[in-house]
């Protein structure tokens, strides 16, 4: 059968497609801005026909109706990363959080830990060979689609087609339903960048050299770093994701990818979050290559890229250099994501560097993010053995290779001035010496 006939045989409306989901099954939903919102919302609208359906997802950018109060009988959310629309469910016990390094998530789908009954994904219309690109969300979404017993595809003409290894084929035997529904791809608005973020960005930029390859996280601080790279030359991108700020540096000739060790001349990522400007930039752009997260984030792949600089953030760091990036005390607010993947990859890279960048305070300046000990219940995301640089608006602390006493001193020097005296007192008690 030709792929065209296969396509027509699998084409149906969303209400019929979600009937392939059965009670007690595990459903993996496509990631972040690539979420197939139409399929998800149709499933939620038919909640009464389901019991005990497990919903596995990372960053949920849609409404996440399955995680709302009253859905407990029908759905249970298993978060691999807790987001704004799912945080309350996990906090209140209506959902769960499963810790896992981002690059290892695809293995959960194949090693028996989280076998996939149904994958719900979003893709482009097929090309002349019947290949449908997953566009901006390849990450764990493509591995889930390959591992699933049943795949439901929302075909959306608005989805950018991306190069690399981003496709499934109409003829794949496990694709049981195709639903055509065109809608704008979910956008992530650019964050607000204040004076604190700008100061942090400038400090981070001072650690970046011409020809370096960057891994950037999400938020105001990575975007602020980009503001201070306009004088750099021939930077590259090998990152779990990137956003609109990168496009501006490409247009200014700062990012060329010419000096990369691997995938020379190419952007490499596993998912994208941004505005239509970003999506238009990557659409049919042969220089943007998307691969699954078990390749992009694998530390053994990252290490092959010389001069890679990893930039991430944290919630809290103690004087030993332990960083909590996903919890506030016992409360799970996000997930490990790819932070440790890239920190460890950068540590093994030739001239690689990793940076944890964060404001010195939280709660409008009333709480120090540099603390004697992490809060009770806080998860250590990045261990003291892994950390390289810590950066705040007050400076740069090089921690790698330093003793506990010396790294404590370095961290106190970049703490907010309002909290330095109390941190110095802790230092003197802990190390039995005068802080001078």
HEC string for the chain: CCHHHHHHHHECCHHHHHHHCCCCCEEEECCHHHCCHHHHHHHHHCHHHCCCEEEEECCCCCCCHHHCCCCCCCEEEEECCCCCCCHHHHHCCCEEECCCCHHHHHHHHHCCCCCCCEEEEEECCCCCCCEEECCCECCCHHHHHHHCCEEEEEECCCCCCCEECCEEECCCCCEEEEEECCCCCCCCCCCCCCHHHHHHHHHHHCCCCCCCEEEECCCHHHHHHHHCCCCCCCEEEECCEECHHHHHHHHCCCECCCCCCCCCCCEEECEECCCHHHHHHHCCCCCEEECCHHHHCCHHHHCCCCCEEEEECCCEEECCCCEECCEECCEECCCCCCHHHHHHHHHHCCCCEEEEECCCEECCCCEECEECCCCCCCCCCECCCCCCEEEECCEEEECCCCCHHHHHHHHHHCCCHHHHHHHHHHHHHHHCCCCC
Active site residue 91: no
Given 240, 305, 326, 393, the catalytic residue = 240
Query: Mind telling me the catalytic residues?
Result: 240
């Amino acid at each position: 059968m030709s792929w065209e006939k296969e396509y027509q045989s699998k084409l149906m409306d969303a209400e019929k497609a979600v009937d392939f989901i059965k009670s007690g099954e595990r459903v993996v939903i496509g990631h972040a801005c690539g979420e197939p919102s139409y399929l998800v919302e149709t499933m939620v609208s038919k909640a009464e026909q389901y019991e005990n359906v497990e919903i596995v997802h990372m960053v949920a950018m849609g409404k996440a109706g399955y995680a709302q109060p009253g859905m407990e009988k029908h759905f249970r959310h298993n978060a691999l990363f807790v987001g704004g629309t799912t945080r309350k469910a996990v906090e209140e016990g209506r959902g769960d959080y499963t810790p896992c390094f981002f690059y290892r998530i695809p293995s959960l789908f194949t090693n028996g830990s989280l076998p996939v009954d149904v994958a719900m994904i979003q893709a482009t219309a097929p090309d002349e060979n019947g290949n449908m690109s997953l566009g901006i969300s390849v990450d764990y979404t493509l591995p889930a689609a390959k591992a699933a017993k049943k795949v439901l595809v929302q075909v959306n003409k608005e989805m950018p087609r991306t190069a690399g290894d981003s496709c499934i084929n109409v003829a794949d035997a496990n694709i049981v339903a195709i639903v055509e529904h065109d809608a704008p791809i979910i956008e992530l608005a650019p964050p607000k960048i204040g004076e604190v973020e700008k100061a942090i960005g400038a400090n981070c930029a001072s650690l970046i050299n011409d020809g370096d390859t960057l891994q950037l996280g999400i938020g105001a601080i990575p975007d602020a770093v980009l503001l201070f790279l306009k004088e750099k030359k021939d930077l590259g991108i090998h990152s779990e994701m990137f956003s609109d700020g990168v496009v501006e540096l490409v247009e200014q000739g700062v990012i060329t990818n010419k000096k990369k060790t691997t995938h020379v001349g190419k952007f490499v990522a596993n998912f994208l979050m941004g505005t239509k400007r970003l999506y238009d930039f990557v659409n049919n752009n042969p220089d943007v290559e998307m691969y699954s997260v078990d390749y992009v984030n694998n530390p053994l792949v990252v290490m092959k890229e010389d001069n890679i600089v990893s930039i991430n953030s944290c919630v809290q760091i103690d004087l030993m250099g332990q960083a909590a990036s996903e919890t506030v005390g016992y409360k799970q607010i996000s997930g490990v994501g790819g932070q440790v993947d890239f920190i460890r990859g950068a540590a093994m890279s030739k001239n690689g560097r990793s940076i944890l960048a964060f404001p010195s305070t939280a709660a409008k300046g009333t709480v120090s993010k540099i603390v004697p000990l992490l809060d009770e219940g806080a998860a250590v995301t990045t261990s003291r053995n892994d950390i390289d640089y810590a950066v705040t608006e007050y400076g740069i602390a090089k921690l790698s290779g330093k003793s506990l006493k010396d790294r404590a001193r370095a961290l106190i020097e970049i703490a907010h001035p309002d909290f330095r005296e109390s941190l110095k007192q802790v230092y003197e008690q802990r190390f039995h010496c005068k802080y001078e």
